[in-house]
């Protein structure tokens, strides 16, 4: 394959296209497969981008923050909170630490217990918000010191639950990309089959073309151009349908969580427009490879 092959592909040469008669089922198959695959690729891309955004958010928003929970009897709670704040103020890597007010704690618990929660009657631990500075704090060392000086303190630097969530989101993103690769591979395989069928069905035409002095490049181009344009057209339709589907998904909301965040944001909406180009490229390479093999076989 050479630059000439790509130039010939872009050059409109209707007379050369007429050399190969249109074959109904391979044409329809190519358009359908590339359309369906482009449709799926749009969703795989949306999934991948949404997972990436989620992983970034979980990784960045909660990084650099920790929560200290003071579990102590009511009469010791204030003293232990004060001691904990003193320890935190002396800990390198802690930028700030503050005890949450009663109103803030009610706000945190209200999704589970309702807004009219009588906090003062419940044995609710005191929460202290810890903001890390640069460089970060030594969480293990802080735990040891808190263990000695504030027996009811439990440090939660969110690592325990944040890391698996970020890992899960990253896995989803990887799955999205793997799906796109598989979609590309499946498209290539289907177009190769369709191109092979078309080349085999037109073996007599290839023979005539050779008898009148056609070089392999001319013969291959007649097939490659046709399959590439079909794949491009099918992928365009699939992409528009896929994007319409994504547009119709419910908008992101806190209530819906991750599922409603599936979609594109900002320039991300431009990414699906690459799918028809990639589809056409896959079709071009698959047909060129199939034609080269078949022409060698037929010689």
Collapsing DSSP states into helix, strand and coil, what is residue 204? helix
Distance of closest approach, residue 218 Cβ to another protein, in angstroms: 5
When asked if residue 185 is in the footprint of another protein (CB under 8 A), the reply is no
d(CA 23, CA 26): 6
Question: Which of 21, 141, 151, 185 is close enough to bind another protein by CB under 8 A?
Answer: 21
Minimum distance from CB of 174 to another protein (Å)? 44
User: Of 269-298, which residues contact another protein (CB under 8 A)?
Assistant: 295
Residue 113's Cβ-side half-sphere holds a number of Cα atoms within 13 Å equal to 11
Residue 118 or 213: the one with the smaller Cβ distance to another protein is 213
**Rounded to the nearest whole angstrom, what is the least distance from the CB of residue 277 to another protein in the complex?**
28
Q: How far is the CB of 297 from another protein (least distance, A)?
A: 12
Rounded to whole angstroms, how far apart are CA atoms 184 and 278? 8
Decide whether 121 or 299 has the Cβ nearer to another protein. Answer: 299
Candidate ranges 10-18, 148-156, 187-195, 233-241; the one touching another protein (CB under 8 A) = 10-18
Phi/psi for 131 (5° steps) reads -110, 125
Binding mask 205-244 for another protein (x = CB under 8 A): x-xxxxxxxxxxxx--------------------------
Nearest to another protein of 173, 217 (CB atom): 217
Say if residues 109 and 122 touch (Cβ distance below 8 Å).
Answer: no
Region binding another protein by CB under 8 A among candidate stretches 17-25, 85-93, 229-237, 259-267: 17-25
Strands 65-70 and 126-132, sheet pairing: antiparallel
Residues contacting another protein: total by CB under 8 A: 20
Identity of the residue, 217 or 225, whose beta carbon is nearer to another protein in the bound complex: 217
Whether the CB-CB separation of 234 and 33 falls below 8 Å is answered with yes
| 130, 66 contact by CB (below 8 A) | yes
Which stretches of the chain are assigned E, i.e. beta strand?
65-70, 94-99, 126-132, 153-156
Nearer residue to another protein within complex by CB, 4 or 256 = 4
Q: What is the DSSP letter of 116?
A: -
How far is CA 138 from each of CA 135, 153, 295, rounded to the nearest angstrom? 9, 16, 68
The residue (of 214 and 249) whose beta carbon lies closer to another protein is 214
Whose CA is closest to 176, among 262, 54, 47? 47
| Residue 276 to residue 31: CA distance in whole angstroms | 12
In the complex, least distance from residue 214 CB atom to another protein, rounded to whole angstroms: 4
With 0-12 / 13-18 / 19 or more C-beta atoms within 10 angstroms meaning exposed / middle / buried, residue 100 is: middle
Residues 123-152 that bind another protein (CB under 8 A): none
For residue 31, the minimal CB distance to another protein (Å) is 21
Contacts with another protein, residue ranges (CB under 8 A): 15-16, 18-19, 21, 205, 207-218, 295, 299
């Amino acid at each position: 394959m050479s630059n000439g092959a790509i130039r010939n592909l872009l050059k409109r040469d209707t007379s050369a296209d007429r050399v190969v008669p249109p074959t109904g089922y391979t044409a329809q198959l190519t358009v359908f497969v590339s359309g369906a695959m482009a449709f799926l690729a749009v969703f795989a891309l949306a999934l991948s981008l949404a997972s990436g955004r989620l992983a970034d958010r979980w990784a960045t928003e909660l990084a650099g923050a920790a929560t200290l929970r003071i579990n102590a009897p009511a009469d010791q709670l204030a003293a232990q909170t004060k001691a904990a704040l003193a320890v935190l103020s002396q800990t390198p890597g802690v930028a700030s630490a503050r005890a949450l007010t009663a109103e803030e704690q009610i706000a945190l618990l209200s999704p589970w217990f309702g807004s009219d929660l009588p906090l003062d009657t419940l044995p609710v631990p005191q929460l202290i918000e810890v903001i890390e500075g640069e460089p970060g704090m030594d969480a293990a060392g802080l735990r040891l010191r808190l263990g000695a000086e504030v027996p009811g303190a439990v440090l939660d630097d969110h690592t325990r639950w944040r890391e698996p969530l970020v890992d899960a989101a990253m896995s989803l993103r990887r799955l999205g990309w793997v799906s796109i690769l598989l979609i590309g591979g499946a498209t290539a395989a289907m177009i190769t089959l369709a191109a092979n069928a078309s080349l085999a069905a037109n073996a007599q035409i290839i023979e005539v073309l050779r008898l009148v002095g056609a070089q392999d490049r001319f013969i291959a181009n007649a097939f490659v151009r046709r399959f590439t344009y079909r794949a491009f057209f099918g992928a365009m339709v699939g992409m528009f349908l896929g994007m319409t589907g994504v547009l119709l998904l419910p908008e992101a909301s806190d209530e819906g969580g991750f599922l409603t965040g599936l979609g594109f944001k900002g320039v991300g909406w431009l990414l699906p427009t690459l799918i028809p180009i990639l589809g056409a490229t896959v079709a071009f390479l698959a047909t060129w490879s199939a034609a080269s093999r078949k022409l060698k076989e037929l010689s």
